[in-house]
């Protein structure tokens, strides 16, 4: 393992860290993405990802993590399983420049990307899956992932193959849920075929021609499908649905945030399955 210290923002390795934070093209070309914070990194490693480079700010890390033999004046990399290549120490000023939020324990990692496909998903006997068609904002997807984790969903499928699942905003918004819940980007056509092949009922959330969500059986294999807040689901999903469901709307507005809708539907499935 190679250990070094960087003190200048003009250092090529530090500049590349910022590039990976900001540009999806750079992430695709280099096969790397950025994870900030101990909790998120732990979830990432538990999911089997490999760290390429770890940037550590000793001033912030302090005594949060142990310092082992031979590391009396530095960070003990043995506390990060899977770190096999580079450990770089940076001063607090540089860390603040790279970090997006407070309270991330002074660590930022460059992690190797891993392809995620529908056929790689491992399902339980009566799987619970969330499908999002053309999700608009990383923050919304991140919030859905947190609810999916809490409900022990089998997977989240984003029906837009161009979605960047390694967007730092998504990783941060999900608090690492992108690693704890198997998440895949695929086309709607591929996803519908995969769900049908696995005998998973497709329940589309829509206002038209629909039943109250709590009147529909979610104890069997179930896919909860939601579209954008502005346009809803496309006709492709409406036609493929086994049932249409809706959430009662008692006010004057006819739209809920997609992450709120997902949480309501997920925990109805949990309620039914634990009744």
**Where are the domain boundaries for CATH 3.40.1280.10 in the chain?**
118-273
CATH, domain range 118-273: 3.40.1280.10
Paired strand residues for 55: 88, 108
Record the tokens describing residue 203, joined without a space: 């329940």
Would you give the DSSP letter of residue 185?
E
Q: Which residues of the chain have pLDDT under 70?
A: 1-2, 63-85, 102-104, 136, 229-230, 254
Please enumerate in sequence order all residues whose Cβ is within 8 A of that of 221, keeping only pairs 6 or more positions apart, or say none.
123, 126, 127, 128, 198, 199, 200, 201
Domain 2-112 has CATH 3.30.1330.30: yes
Give the start-end residues of each E strand in 114-171.
128-133, 155-159
DSSP string, 34-58: EEESHHHHHHHHHTT--EEEEEE-H
> Is 80 in contact with 54 (CB distance < 8 Å)?
yes
Record the tokens describing residue 157, joined without a space: 């499928």
**Where are the domain boundaries for CATH 3.30.1330.30 in the chain?**
2-112
- The pLDDT of residue 71: 42
- The pLDDT of residue 79: 54
């Amino acid at each position: 393992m190679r250990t070094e210290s960087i003190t200048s923002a003009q250092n090529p390795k530090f500049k590349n860290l910022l590039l990976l934070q900001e540009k999806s093209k750079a992430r695709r070309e280099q096969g790397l993405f950025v994870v900030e914070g101990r909790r998120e990194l732990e979830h990432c490693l538990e999911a089997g990802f490999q760290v390429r480079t770890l940037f550590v700010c000793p001033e912030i890390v302090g005594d949060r993590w142990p310092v082992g033999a031979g590391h009396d004046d530095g960070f003990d990399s043995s506390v990060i399983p899977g770190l096999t290549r580079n450990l770089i120490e940076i001063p607090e000023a540089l860390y603040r420049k790279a970090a997006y939020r407070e309270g991330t324990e002074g660590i930022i990692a460059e992690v190797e990307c891993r392809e995620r496909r529908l056929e790689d998903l491992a399902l339980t006997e009566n799987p619970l899956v969330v499908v999002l068609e053309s999700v608009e904002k990383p923050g919304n997807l991140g919030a859905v992932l947190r609810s999916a984790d809490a409900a022990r969903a089998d997977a989240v499928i984003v029906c837009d193959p161009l979605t960047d699942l390694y967007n730092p905003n998504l990783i941060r918004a999900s608090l690492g849920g992108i690693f704890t819940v198997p998440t895949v980007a695929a086309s709607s056509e591929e996803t519908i075929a995969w769900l049908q092949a696995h005998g998973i009922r497709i329940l589309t959330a829509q206002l038209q021609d629909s039943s109250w969500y709590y009147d529909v059986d979610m104890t069997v294999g179930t896919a909860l499908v939601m579209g954008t807040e502005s346009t809803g689901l496309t006709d492709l999903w409406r036609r493929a649905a086994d049932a249409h469901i809706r959430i009662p709307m008692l006010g004057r507005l006819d739209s809920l945030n997609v992450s709120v809708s997902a949480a309501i539907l997920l925990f109805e499935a949990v309620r039914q399955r634990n009744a």
